[in-house]
Amino acid sequence: MSLQELHKIQTTKSSWQDFVEYSIHTPFYTETKAKTQSLVEAIQLTLFHDYLSTFSSEEKSEFLSSPNAFQASAEKFVNILEGVRYSQDGYNKKERSLFLGMLKSLLKEYKVDENGERKDLERYHFYRCIIRFCSDKDYIFRVYEKYKSYLSQGSGV
């Protein structure tokens, strides 16, 4: 394992942790959690909202008005991790092993306690949803549709 591979995985983990902490404290998440009464749906919508915030206003408008434009972008996003998932060119076995270990360690931090309860269900579900966002473009598209529906109901944030 190279120092570069290890750094890449550690940077990904740190970025995801920062992203989760940021997302938990946004007004959008607070509003969505109250309106949907569903932790997982609120997390999905918030992650999607925060993902869209990384684009310009013009790109956001295009994505929300054109499912085809959004699907093309989602495919590129999912393919960022192609080296650790299956790809036609194969994948980097060392990097894949490190990446899967990182995912396992993130989820393990919120493992079930002695009473059979998750230590922090909220963060656990944030990481589960991020993992799905990064690996399944169909999942992203389903959340895209939920997000558009949510906005049409009049999100105040």
Each domain of the chain, given as residue ranges in start order, spans 3-151
Which pLDDT does position 19 carry in this prediction?
Answer: 86
Report phi then psi at 112, rounded to 5.
Answer: -70, 135
| pLDDT tens for each residue of the chain, 157 residues long | 566 666 666 777 778 888 889 999 999 999 999 999 999 999 999 999 998 998 999 999 999 999 999 998 888 777 665 555 555 566 666 666 666 677 777 777 766 677 777 678 888 888 888 888 877 888 889 999 999 999 988 765 5
Query: Closest Cα partner for 147 from 70, 81, 72, 79?
Result: 70
Positive or negative torsion for Cα 40, 42, 44, 47: negative
